[in-house]
Amino acid sequence: MAQENWFTEKHAASGSSIGYRVAEKLADTQTPFQHIEVWRTTDWGNLMVIDGCTMLTTRDNFLYHEMMTHPALYTHAAPRDVAIIGGGDCGTLREVLRHPEITSVVQVDIDEQVTRLAEKFFPELCESNADPRARLLFDDGIKFMADAQPASLDVVIVDSTDPVGPAEGLFNAKFYASCFRALREGGILVQQSESPLVLLDLIQSIHKAMHEVGFAATRTLPFPQPCYPTGWWSTTLARKGGDLATFREADAAARPFATRYYNAGVHRAALAQPEFLRTALPA
């Protein structure tokens, strides 16, 4: 194939790139916040790109969305109220709403066009958008958390892009302090935390900031993600009281919905830290 038939993302931090053979461009939109493209690929379904960076593909997004949601929800004793900051493609929202005990989910993404393009080109991710428990807001997630009522949430999931541009303010102690205040005792914060292979310093700074604002326990769970740089990604959890080393394993094993990656064994395995993470991050 000629060069123009490939989309390639160059990743300076890892000195590598990842590419997809593409058949046609389906959308190209410049919003007030970012540049969004959607491509039809020959082998990975549809591909969403924001500011030149791969966001998701039809083929492998389940890895990310399941690991951003189910570990936290099965660690919490009784999750009911959830906030998703970012997550405009709505895949995380769909996974959260698979849990019947959830009573309310608010998703706050600054850019409405991400959701509108997901509805058109990734409709399977948006199948729960009309669920009566869901509320979609297109607003500033940092301000939303700063204004949230104290002890009003059980889980906060930060489903953000890389820590640049609109997402830059989601990776610091000030934002985590807002989340800490909004969480009830035993509540869990979930942060998309990039590649542990090449951005370990960022993950270390996330743990440090979470502990600074009062979270009792933090844990990074790595998982495979072929569409992202290095092919290895992570989610970092923080808990307001309690630990993250145990979870409701029987409930996870008997979950009343289908998954493609997550199960109780995968959760247990993710808690067993690779040696370089075990020595670099808090126990």
Nearest to 90 by CA among 141, 36, 145, 130: 130
Asked if 235 and 71 count as a contact pair (C-beta separation under 8 A), the reply is yes
Distances (CA, A) of 61 to 51, 95, 113: 18, 12, 19
Distance, CA of 281 to CA of 283 (rounded, Å) = 6
Distance, CA of 109 to CA of 103 (rounded, Å) = 20
Q: Give the largest Cα separation in the chain, rounded.
A: 56
- Active-site positions read 159
**In sequence order, what DSSP letters do the residues of 92-135 get, joined into one string?**
HHHHHTTSTT--EEEEE-S-HHHHHHHHHH-GGGGTTTT-TTEE
